Structure 1
Amino acid sequence: MAGSRLSKPQDEATKKRKRDLIEGDARIKRSRAQQGVAADEHEQAADGDVETDNSLQNGSLANSKSNGEAVAKRSSDGEAGWRLSKPMGGRMLDIDPILTQDDQYLILTYNTSVQIYTTSDSLLLRRIPIGAVDTATSDGSSPANIVATRLSIQNPEYLWVACSDGQIYHVKWTEAAETHQSFKTVTGTAKAMTVTSTEASGAKADVVVVVETAKSNKTELTAYGGDLLSSPVSKHILSIKKPGNGLHLIEATQDGLVLVGAVNDSLFIGVASHEQTTNFEEIQYDFFSFDVPDIITTLDFRVYQASALPGAGSKGRRASDRVVDVIVGGARGGIYLYHDALARSQSLGKAGIQAQKFHWHRKAVHSVKWSRDGNYMISGGSENVLVLWQMDTVKRNYLPHLSGSVENIVVSASGSSYVVHLDDNSTMILSTAELTPTTYISGIQSASVEATTPKDLLVQRVWSVADKVRRPIPAAIKANQPSKLHVCVGNGRQATMTGDFSAPLLQSFDLETFTSISKQALARTQPTDVNLSNKGYAIEEPVVTHISFSSDGKWLASVDDWFPSTRDIGAVSGDAGDQFLKERHESYLKFWQVNDEDNSIALVSRINAPHTSTHPETILDLASDSSSACFATIAGDGIVRLWRPKVRQQDGSRRTDGGVEFTWGCSRIIPIGDGLGRDAIADIPNDSAAPVKPQARIAFSEDGSTLFAAFGAVDTGAVYVINAASGEVVKILEGLWKGQLHSLRVLSQYLIVLSDELHVYDVVSDDLRYGIVVPKASDADELLQLAVDSVSGHFAVTLPLGNTSSIGIFSPSEPEPLIVRNTPHRIVSLISVPGTSGFVALDDVAQIWTLTEGSNASTILAAQPLQDLRLDNASQEADSNKLAIMLNGDAESDDEMEEAPNADDDVDMEDDDVQANIIPQQYLADIFDAAPPFAGASVEDMFYKVIDLLAAKPLSTTTL
């Protein structure tokens, strides 16, 4: 094994304790000093050996004032301290995107920020964090979520952003600012928001209308006006008593003359009592409401004059009368058109209005919008199809095979584009003529939680969607491309969270530019088929449980599993039913060839049921050898298998470099568990009626000479030290885990085991460094994760805490964490970057966090918006310079032309003025190859370093 690069502790409190292999106790833990506020408490705790309890107070991840916060504050200072970056990316919320009037900028609302993109190149212009939403709350709970984003009518350079805690922010989206002015609603709540305006003295003033719910069965509509940022004035305009858990929707015209809203299955229309309002106090509405046959999930309306109606004069209506056509989408798939809804409501009252019904969607209508001319309506739902309805003929046109459910649709101001937001965390702009994308923006498409109830579940269905991510998401980074993150994703959030879990696709994501590169299926998938049985249950897809790259990055190994649902066995129960489920279990080990040029992967070998006893066994872990092209797997049968490539003689396989054909096969079989395999698990005494499930983890040493395999059951397993070359078990280490086994990793000479306890074991000196009891997570034990950083010699542990997570950085020689940080969301994937110091964490709202060592901020950021690089103002400055030259007139230009020398004239110049500044290649290599892109200097720093080389005066040439 590779030697230790870490210094051993010098003080008595941290010296390693000799461990007896035969008579050692499994629950011996390293004594360590308790971190308290008073110095006497510290000395008292350091006097003797004390067993730790489950609070993790001795250098653990517990979030206590006397320990975790003190350690975090201490470790945040200094050049060698570890730092947690700000969150990058996130999940696009179910809020209509905003396309500016000139179609140049697209404004998207994420869970913690508002991000502005340029439509011409789909690049991130700036990220604007929104108040307390961008950070965790003081009590460790999740922060408030954004519920609405609207463009200001008074000044289109500003946005109004409403949060669920009633805070309304005034954000200037043309600038990147950390803080924003805001005001709070009367009730401290906000469910929906729209913006209208009043006109006084020829100037428009914004009026913010907020839907508030102080009580569960009461909805209030409140308008806020006046000086909104210093002394806002509120006015109550509507109160609705309506029980239920439906959506709250509100839309309005810019002049504020018409309001249309919905609560559950009630639709209300408000018309201003005064055509012209000179101040906020004059705002008053007359409301008309009626029930809709379904729970309303989306709505849109258009207003036009009665003169556009055929035969308007014969009906006794004035040509200037307003006509309001309202369309609403229902939770059961119907679309209801209420033509001339305002006039009919005024005449019929509560008698009800007859609606024209359109029905194509199988589940809820997620979004429906009018076209600008009113000849079409555009709808979308969970079918991954955009539907265009022609109103005159009721014919439908389709844009099928989208990459996710349609969440939001926005029609541009000119009517020439559609903005479509999909639930796979992507948004695109389509031209209305060809329905081809002109702009595409995609974030990380991993499984994520939903801030609100999904629209498809507003009515009771046998089909369901999980509300939390309950298992780690497989992710990996190649050694030769440290800026590319590869993560397992599904066909949209809804499809991913359906059933148990669905993530059959591999997404490649560039952390440097923060853009999606590609997406490819690793397992069987049906993205646009009807994936429901005849009884309404979801047809579950295989789950990719493990992925790993070879040391050279040329090969990818993946493991996918599929179990039939217990509903499939019908009336069969008992042992026969269990046997049926086991026999129908599908387990595949696949090997893929990686092409770095086009970021594609090609399937080379598929191993059906690589571990089989009486039935296909589930592969419990997959590991890659860092020194050669070799993978190791371990399953519940107690067998370790090594897999290596070999030259294939027959035709039919895919070719690699040089035209040599390879295939993968098992090169060595190593039985562990005293050679009994699965029988060793069966002989374990168990008092409970539930069968004992085997646990197993596997890891290579850094030099690939040794293989560590942990196998057993709860409290009874051992770690087997295997010679990777001969396959011989050279040592058995007992008592290194307790309870559920989560992870096994090797860091230099240390073996780190994460279970209900965290153990760090020195393999070379055969000593247990220390052990820490991990606090019990109520419903997220699977999200306990471990990653090691071989460059810095440290490891990271994530601990779920309710809806949040805690991340700690540890040294193998010290039980006290170097840093402890909390994230407002749960970490679902934690990986290290090969060849680079640092960790990458992915949370359950698709945000990326990086943990890096050192004080250089450029190593923390993997991607920067153009605003941070000051590139968004470059074009504006260039345009202003051109404009200034044009405004100077022709006289100055003529003078410059007269002073300009003729091309044929001889001009005396120094040699240095015309000599090209030749930069040696090694100077550029020192700048660009100093570190991998993920951990290197920022683009801005490298830009200025290259400019310094170009600006430097070249050395004078010497004549020989």
Structure 2
Amino acid sequence: MSVKTPDTGNSARATRRKRKAEREEEEGSSPAKKAKASRISQTSNVDATLGFVKDGNVIHGARRKRKRRSRGAKAVVEVEGNSNDTNVKDEKAVDDNGVIDGDDEAVDEEDVDAVESADHDETTVALNSSTIKQAKKTRNRARRESKTGASSLKPTLEASERGTSGQHKTWTASAASAGRFLQHDPAFVQNGKDAGFLISANAREVQLLSLETSLVVRSHSSPSDKTVAHFAVDAIDNTLVHIAYDDGAINTWDWDNDTATTPVSHAKLEVVAMASGRPFNGTKSSLFYIAALKRRHAVFLGNEKLFETKAALTSILVVGNSDYLVCSGPSVLIIGSRLGRAAGEITWIEMPLSFTCTCLDARLSTLPNATTKSSGNIPVLSLAMGLEDGQIMVYSDVTSLFKSQALPTPRILHWHRRAVSAIRYSRDGNYIISGGKETVLVIWQLETGKKQYLPHLTSEINGIVVSPEGSRYALRMGDNSIVVLSTSELKPLAHFAGLQVTGRIATHLYPSQQSTIAAVLHPTKPHTLLAAVPPSIPRSENDVTGRPFLQTFDTRNSRHISRQALTRNNVTDFTLGPDRTPIVTPDVIHLAISHDGQLLATVDEWMPPLSDLGYLASDELDLDGERQKRREVFLKIWNWNEDEGLWTLSTRVDAPHGRANGIGFGAGRVLALASAPSSDTFATVGEDECVRVWSPKGRTRRSAIKTEPVSWVCKSSTQLPRAESAEETEPTGLFGASLTYSNDGSLLAVAPSDHDAATEKAPITHFLDASTGAVAASKAGLARAELKDIAFLGRYFVAVSTPAAHVWDLVDDVLMYKIDFPGPAGAWGAGHAKLAVSQDEGSFAVVVGDNVVEVYAPQSTTVLYRHEFDASIEGLLASKGTKGYTLIFSDATIRTVSPAGAEKVQPRLKTTFSLAASKFSSAGAEEIGQAGVAADAQAPVLGTVARVQDVEEDDRLVVRPEQLARVFDFGQTSAMPPVRDMFQAVVGLFARKPAMRPQAVRAS
């Protein structure tokens, strides 16, 4: 039934509507209406039928029809259905383009008035002409805006279609931190007011290092389009540092006042080495540098070219008051002298070498003139050269070179077994200090020939610097660190360590492959990075090395925390075999840390070198088989020792996995390692196609502060099912695999990959019950290509294949979308695909190719963030308590990618009541146990602990004065850390869980 109500029959309501329409014409439509009108439907099949909602009830099928009449006529809106169950505020109209058209408020209120006046009857309401005009204007504007901003989601999205900004939040990348020291010796400086400093540099900045606090006091960052190549401290004023960049530009930094000059370009020269000397042609100091030209090297003084040669040069020394310039290369020695010459004139002599020079030092001294009656002294230039074969050649006087055109007979010193990396004269000239790959500092007494050793430095020595007063040595180590020693006792005075991770390197296990880094973020300290690192940083990708050490690094403050050994190493042993082949160490290939940060699982692997087994095999294939038979694989579980600040070994499992059936005997490879998110459990998958879950045994060991498991056992072992093929006649094992736990720890997903990468079979993903190890489901449709990495993100399952990303809704069992990445599939080799999920942010990140990172939400294919970096990305990590991701690059720098304005989640005290009103100490507010139960369920336990603490007074929290002293002992004011860091350190001391005796706790 349709009842027409004339406009004159409800004059009061019509007058009210007219006034409201006039008021809206003056104010215009609100931004909320525009936003409502520009909503985008993400459903491909949207019904134009409107649903009216009131009191939680939805009336389906209600439609609103607009009828247009001739000019001046009334517009009629027909409302069908129960008008009392209508709330027009949620009304939506969908046009043909899939745009939800939210009408203006005037029309909505008109319908509401009509519904109220109908009193459960179907009513047609006549609107006044001014309201209709305003409604048309608002609707047309909304449609225009929606057409320009509308977008539809596609199942597959190409790279050219993806945007660079998020839907709701803007993501940003932080500035690079950490970094690797340049292959440049540091320099001692002093301003007369402090104990002294060191000048060092990485590619991003030049740093002022305090010898008193071992901290970076000040730094000078390079311009955004430049990287630091070399630096030199001014010979007259050591508060000035001359900096050369990769494009040939040079500027000067005053580290005392923290000011710098504008970089001055020198014709785009590639600066190879640089040194500062005394005034050469005026009152200012002279800056000499070696630049690489086309097939030649030249020595420059400012813009003036002094000497040019075809030989390659690597170093330059300025001796005396710029009396001599000594330049060297692997096969050449060049000396320039200005003694006896006019101002600005230099006599050069170039000497080819019959040996390979690796390092050089020069010293100028004087001897009494015995040939004449004059009292003048004769200058003597002495040289010490380190050779590739480990010898040291000492030339006591090479000034005769300008007369005889030949080097005199040297004195040979030989102790190093491998190339000499660094050599220096002492200040008095009585000693020579040398170092190399043997991790031993050797001090030679020239007069007697006696040697003094400082062994066990944990890393090779790449450079040596003697302080101006001769009381300290600065050693540039091969593990990206600098150590300062006293010359009298050879005790360390300062230590500066950077991030020691490496990029993709060739290991002794599989020289043809390149291994990526093994690193994790601490779950309760999200800014603490744990990474497996080598003894020394490889200088090239072909250097064979292992990673037997664990480095703990503070990513927020770019500070080294600790370093310890995880496997056997050659720190105290010889590094060469009888046939002079390097003795390699085991390689830590996997790391995983428990949910509470108290347990660490590592997997290390070792195989004998090829040279040791050559006599057992007739060809290369047999040789590889012999190596695999002798392979050693260990799974190790470590407990965190809070008092010592180190990880202590709890259990070692020999050969946790065997080789595939039919291949042979020996230890099988561990392909993946994962940690359970809510229990002390680890899982591994091996080449034998088995998934094993490891958990602590029932027996525990009670210490003074906690109870820790003594041994670990294999809780379950599951053989993965596989589709057998009639064509497969030879036994094969797994070539690779990915392993991950679900968010609640109930499921364990495994994505294996076979040896035959060219197979057409779809990869299979298995889902296992984490408690029993039974296979709950196996799916073969997640991706068409081999899966490289997998992860759970809430109800979604994210898988990265070659090269695409797939997001699967596990609840509805549907593929949400697939994203194809650019580049050939061959660029996505083993270990190149990287995936990380942020449970706090609800997003996932993937590394595309080598240096591009993209961030997505599982509900949409719109890219939240995309950035292409200069260096290749070697690690992509996410941790609990942070919103975003941590990126580790090949140059040992670190960046974080996170939503703009989102502060990192800091650990909070778990106090929900006033401690002053409580009868027990603040420890009662700490969470007891590791199960993560609710706070109300923990109330009885808290009361029990409180009673124990009342009785056991020795268990109360004690903060020792030396602990507070370490927080505030930062030396001079310029080295003071940020106040926030100091506050967090103090809170961390007083908010610790006090030592409790578990045996004293009894149920109440």
TM-score, normalized by length of structure 1? 0.73
Change (3 A) 1:657 1:612: farther
Residue 836 of structure 1, CA deviation: 2.0
Structure-2 separation of matches of 1:113 and 1:644: 46
1:239 aligns with 2:328: no
1:544 aligns with 2:588: yes
Task: Determine the structure 1 residue equivalent to 2:738.
Answer: 697
Structure-1 separation of matches of 2:480 and 2:189: 21
Task: Determine the structure 1 residue equivalent to 2:861.
Answer: 815
Residue 90 of structure 1, CA deviation: 0.7
Q: Deviations over 1:558-610 (max 9, x none)?
A: 11122333444324146754543332122211111112343211111111111
Structure-1 separation of matches of 2:597 and 2:441: 39
Task: Determine the structure 2 residue equivalent to 1:290.
Answer: 351
SS state at 1:294 partner: coil
Q: Deviations over 1:376-409 (max 9, x none)?
A: 0111111111111111112111111112111111
Contact 1:543 1:561 in 2 (8 A): yes
Residue 671 of structure 1, CA deviation: 2.4
Change (3 A) 1:939 1:339: closer
Task: Determine the structure 2 residue equivalent to 1:709.
Answer: 750
Moved more, 312-321 or 487-496: 312-321
SS state at 1:181 partner: coil
Contact 2:504 2:516 in 1 (8 A): no
Residue type matched to 2:184 in 1? I
Residue 82 of structure 1, CA deviation: 1.9
Contact 2:762 2:785 in 1 (8 A): no
Task: Determine the structure 1 residue equivalent to 2:317.
Answer: 251
Greater gyration radius: 2
Change (3 A) 1:413 1:436: same
Change (3 A) 1:111 1:550: same
Q: Deviations over 1:647-667 (max 9, x none)?
A: 238xxx795855565311111
The aligned runs of 1:937-956 (5 Å cut-off) are 939-940=978-979
Residue 788 of structure 1, CA deviation: 0.9
The aligned runs of 1:456-495 (5 Å cut-off) are 470-494=514-538
Structure-2 separation of matches of 1:284 and 1:475: 57
Task: Determine the structure 1 residue equivalent to 2:840.
Answer: 791
SS state at 2:527 partner: strand
Contact 1:167 1:183 in 2 (8 A): yes
In the alignment, which of 120, 129, 132 is matched to residue 212 of structure 2?
120
Residue type matched to 1:267 in 2? L
SS state at 2:627 partner: helix
Task: Determine the structure 1 residue equivalent to 2:241.
Answer: 159
Residue 761 of structure 1, CA deviation: 1.0
SS state at 2:279 partner: strand
Task: Determine the structure 2 residue equivalent to 1:590.
Answer: 636
Residue type matched to 1:265 in 2? S
SS state at 2:626 partner: helix
In the alignment, which of 178, 181, 201 is matched to residue 92 of structure 1?
181
The aligned runs of 1:19-30 (5 Å cut-off) are none
Structure-1 separation of matches of 2:43 and 2:443: 70
Task: Determine the structure 2 residue equivalent to 1:333.
Answer: 390
Change (3 A) 1:561 1:516: same
Q: Deviations over 1:609-633 (max 9, x none)?
A: 1122443221111111111111111
Contact 1:251 1:261 in 2 (8 A): yes
Q: Deviations over 1:306-351 (max 9, x none)?
A: 32xxxx3147886233211122222222222222212x02221x24
Task: Determine the structure 1 residue equivalent to 2:831.
Answer: 782
Task: Determine the structure 2 residue equivalent to 1:728.
Answer: 774
Structure-1 separation of matches of 2:43 and 2:436: 60
Task: Determine the structure 2 residue equivalent to 1:630.
Answer: 681
Structure-2 separation of matches of 1:380 and 1:466: 30
SS state at 2:697 partner: strand
* Structure 2: tracts of 5 or more residues without a match: 1-37, 47-143, 908-976, 987-1004
Residue type matched to 1:392 in 2? E
Structure-1 separation of matches of 2:553 and 2:326: 41
Task: Determine the structure 2 residue equivalent to 1:762.
Answer: 809
Contact 1:164 1:191 in 2 (8 A): no
Task: Determine the structure 2 residue equivalent to 1:204.
Answer: 283
Change (3 A) 1:784 1:419: same
Structure-2 separation of matches of 1:106 and 1:320: 34
Task: Determine the structure 1 residue equivalent to 2:252.
Answer: 170
Task: Determine the structure 1 residue equivalent to 2:468.
Answer: 413
Structure-2 separation of matches of 1:285 and 1:402: 42
Change (3 A) 1:683 1:99: farther
Residue type matched to 1:814 in 2? S
Q: Deviations over 1:653-708 (max 9, x none)?
A: 7958555653111111222225xxxxx5786769xx99775332111111111221
Contact 1:383 1:528 in 2 (8 A): no
Change (3 A) 1:357 1:749: same
* Structure 1: tracts of 5 or more residues without a match: 1-8, 18-38, 60-66, 135-143, 225-233, 277-281, 451-461, 675-679, 863-937, 948-960
Change (3 A) 1:205 1:491: same
Structure-2 separation of matches of 1:578 and 1:324: 55
SS state at 2:787 partner: coil
Structure-1 separation of matches of 2:893 and 2:513: 14
Residue 210 of structure 1, CA deviation: 1.8
Task: Determine the structure 2 residue equivalent to 1:130.
Answer: 222
Structure-1 separation of matches of 2:512 and 2:361: 31
1:617 aligns with 2:698: no
Structure-2 separation of matches of 1:656 and 1:742: 44
Change (3 A) 1:49 1:375: closer
Structure-2 separation of matches of 1:404 and 1:662: 33
Structure-2 separation of matches of 1:296 and 1:16: 76
Structure-2 separation of matches of 1:477 and 1:492: 22
Task: Determine the structure 1 residue equivalent to 2:299.
Answer: 221
Residue type matched to 1:570 in 2? G
Residue 46 of structure 1, CA deviation: 6.6
Contact 1:403 1:422 in 2 (8 A): no
Contact 1:708 1:721 in 2 (8 A): yes
Residue 635 of structure 1, CA deviation: 1.5
SS state at 1:722 partner: strand
Residue type matched to 1:374 in 2? G
Structure-2 separation of matches of 1:283 and 1:379: 35
Change (3 A) 1:363 1:483: same
Contact 1:380 1:407 in 2 (8 A): yes
Task: Determine the structure 2 residue equivalent to 1:719.
Answer: 765
1:57 aligns with 2:160: yes
Structure-2 separation of matches of 1:125 and 1:477: 27
Task: Determine the structure 2 residue equivalent to 1:526.
Answer: 570
Structure-1 separation of matches of 2:985 and 2:875: 36
Q: Deviations over 1:719-753 (max 9, x none)?
A: 11222234332222213245443211111111111
SS state at 1:306 partner: strand
**How many correspondences in the alignment?**
764
Residue 552 of structure 1, CA deviation: 1.7
The aligned runs of 1:328-407 (5 Å cut-off) are 328-342=385-399, 344-348=400-404, 350-407=405-462
Change (3 A) 1:96 1:702: same
Contact 1:673 1:711 in 2 (8 A): no
Task: Determine the structure 2 residue equivalent to 1:829.
Answer: 875
In the alignment, which of 269, 273, 276 is matched to residue 195 of structure 1?
276
Task: Determine the structure 1 residue equivalent to 2:29.
Answer: none
Residue type matched to 2:887 in 1? A
Change (3 A) 1:576 1:361: closer
Moved more, 110-119 or 375-384: 110-119
Q: Deviations over 1:444-499 (max 9, x none)?
A: 2122589xxxxxxxxxxx99999999322111122222232111011111499776
Contact 2:438 2:460 in 1 (8 A): yes
Structure-2 separation of matches of 1:130 and 1:562: 42
In the alignment, which of 559, 569, 583 is matched to residue 603 of structure 2?
559
SS state at 1:57 partner: helix
Structure-2 separation of matches of 1:94 and 1:118: 20
Contact 2:157 2:861 in 1 (8 A): no
Contact 1:825 1:843 in 2 (8 A): yes
